[in-house]
Amino acid sequence: MFEQFFYQEKGLFLQSLHPAAVLTYLGVLLVLALIFTNPLYLLGLLLVVVLTISAARGLATWETYFRLSLGMMLLVILINPLVVHAGETIIWRGPRLPVFGPLTVSLEAIAYGAAMSVRLLTIISVFCLYNLIVHPDKVLSLLARLASRSALVLSLATRMFPAMMRQLENIREVQVMRGVNFNAGSLKERLPKYAGLINILLLSSLEDSLEIAEAMQARAFGSGRRTCYQRDAWRPRDSLCLGGSLLALALAVYGQVKGFSTFAFYPQLGYLINSPGTIIILIITLLALSIPVVLSWGWQHWPYFKARI
């Protein structure tokens, strides 16, 4: 049930990228989602993220993320017009409330809530993409060169939840094979059964922690400078993805300074397209961010192209 929320090796192009290039790409997506205010830019960025998720064969997983975030998006759209009274285009006036004052709903507040919901979905989708294409061990190995002990603690922490979920499922299957029915009986009768599961899980976790400590001691952890058994190679595909990410970031900063990617919600809604530069910067930025998607398509369909990059 929880496997789709964790990294799964599928032999995809996006999973073969260098962790530094992938982290830079995802970081740029996250930064752009936070700084963009123009709804066109936010929608375009969301489209790029969804296309990248599709290239990673994760649309089914993203659908689960979308369903989980849909409730939060609706809350943002509904609550923001009721709380924020700014905006000159009033479309509904309600009674005066003791704490909030006169209840008014403006078109600007609705538009702002809708834009923020798109931003929220984009950020959640970026984290979904991270789980699909980033191998946790490779990232932590990259970080371990700077802070090995902190990376070890982070590695153990990130591994704990998925490992416990798999172990809990295995324990449950064993108990079912022994005749334990977790769905039968009242809540009072089922609680001892689940308590037994937790008890076995805690005992197994303690045994696993001892095994990890013995493995670390056998590998002489902390006795000297950390060595690396395998290093990730930097390929032309990594340079192309990194260059596209940096280009998109530079264009986004330029667009923010010139006002191409900004949008005024209050006191009145501004224009989505202020000048031709708005469309030009948007198209170039999206094309730069789409480089991993294009390379992934070519990697799958052209053997020669796959060999070259």
pLDDT for position 279: 93
Round to the nearest angstrom and report the end-to-end CA distance of the chain.
36
pLDDT digits (tens, 9 = 90+) for 123-135: 999 999 998 998 8
pLDDT digits (tens, 9 = 90+) for 60-73: 899 989 998 999 99
Pairwise pLDDT comparison (159 vs 59), residue with the higher score: 59
pLDDT for position 201: 85
Neighbouring C-alpha atoms within 13 Å toward the C-beta of 245: 21
pLDDT for position 3: 62
pLDDT for position 35: 93
CB atoms within 10 A of CB 280: 13
> If you average pLDDT over residues 257-263, what whole number do you get?
89
* Spatial distance between the Cα atoms of 201 and 168, rounded to a whole number of angstroms: 6
> If you average pLDDT over residues 13-41, what whole number do you get?
93
229, pLDDT greater than 70: no
* Spatial distance between the Cα atoms of 127 and 26, rounded to a whole number of angstroms: 8
pLDDT for position 250: 95
pLDDT for position 5: 65
The first and second tokens of residue 256, run together, are 């923010």
For 175-178, which contacts have Cβ atoms below 8 Å and span 24 or more sequence positions?
none
33, pLDDT greater than 90: yes
1, pLDDT greater than 60: no
pLDDT digits (tens, 9 = 90+) for 68-120: 899 999 998 888 888 887 878 888 887 777 766 677 888 888 999 999 999 99
- What's the mean pLDDT when you consider all of the chain? 85
Please, is 227 exposed, middle or buried when counting C-beta atoms within 10 Å of its C-beta (0-12, 13-18, 19+)?
A: exposed
Cα angle for residues 141, 144, 148 (degrees, 5° grid): 140
